[in-house]
Amino acid sequence: MGMIKKLLNFQAEMDRFVEDGSLDDSGESCLSQDDIDPRDTVDVSKGFTFAEVNTVRASTSKVVCCHFSSDGKLLASAGHDKKAVLWYTDTLTPKATLEGHASMITDVRFSPGMPLLATSSFDKTVRVWDADNPGHSLWTFMGHNAAVMSLDFHPNKDDLICSCDEDGEIRYWSINNGSCARVFKGGMYQMRFQPRVGRYLAAAAGNVISILDVETPACRQTLQGHTKPIHSVCWNSTGDLLASVSEDAVRVWTLGSGSEGECVHELSCNGNKFYSCVFHPTYPSLLAIGCYQSLELWNMSENQMMSLPAHDGIIAALAVSNVTGLVASASHDKSVKLWK
């Protein structure tokens, strides 16, 4: 689809829905009938815009992951070409290209507390890089016997990185010691630490999410309800909601209250498949969902949808910066885009 070059006004779309009960075809096909959450709402009377602000051809092949630095000044992207690229977010010009993996990169994450980033790969390794001087990797962690599918830094423990492989093995790595600190089972495709507190680790394997206690690491809860494999998980900024994405459904779970583990929102889709998601940095009730070629904006509190043409391929990953308010999208069309 063509590139968006003008502001797309969310207010007009929502007002039309309020006035005549209609939505466009893509929104209608994806709308589910779950209960309204009265907490954070998007005030349509004030208007809401979400538009592409920059784009770059990020690779010669598919881009499958992206992440912002904690200060929002850098964006990392990576994928099938075995390289990670650091971009200045204000201009989307490259700062550095990180090379060293022998196979495609599956995930990239910045440390929340230090100028470090890490990459995981089909080559069964995790590499840690200095974001200020990324000429070569500082550490290469080896020990996985299968492709490493995902990784994450703990939000408070600067020494701790976690990774998971396609055999379901999870490993804790100590940056200070340069060694593996713990091995256990539970995650296969994607994992994310709970932000801020860092009490839980959400790990997706098949159509189930395990909520693991970071310290023990016992399984505290198993979140079930998806009927197809889960592609992506993401926490909201406060760490009390977790969203999970499979190709035909998005589920939002509460994990910070007395009703922990309850599915509070569900979105089903019979049309465009879902691949990735992220909570909007300004409107906590708004979830951006990456699909094939389009971004779906789901207002959970009002149970309304809007579809935006975005890429020419699958949107494999989304990232958000709470500092700048930017959302990044990474696609199989070899490009990375910024939205606000």
Could you tell me the residue range of the domain that residue 296 belongs to? 1-58+274-315+327-340
The pLDDT of residue 8? 39
The pLDDT of residue 69? 98
Let me know if 174 is exposed, middle or buried by CB neighbors in 10 A (0-12, 13-18, 19+): middle
Integer Cα distance of 269 and 337 in angstroms: 24
Let me know if 220 is exposed, middle or buried by CB neighbors in 10 A (0-12, 13-18, 19+): middle
Residue 304 lies in a domain: yes
Section 8-22 average pLDDT? 41
Residue 311 lies in a domain: yes
Residue 91 lies in a domain: no
Section 232-254 average pLDDT? 97
Does residue 39 have a pLDDT over 80? no
Q: For the whole model, what pTM was predicted?
A: 0.87
Q: Distances from the Cα of 134 to the Cαs of 21, 83, 84, 101, 193, in angstroms?
A: 52, 12, 10, 14, 24
Number of domains in the chain: 1
Let me know if 57 is exposed, middle or buried by CB neighbors in 10 A (0-12, 13-18, 19+): exposed
- For residues 16 and 25, the model is more confident at 16
Section 290-306 average pLDDT? 94
The pLDDT of residue 217? 82
Residue 70 lies in a domain: no
Residue 211 lies in a domain: no
Section 230-253 average pLDDT? 97
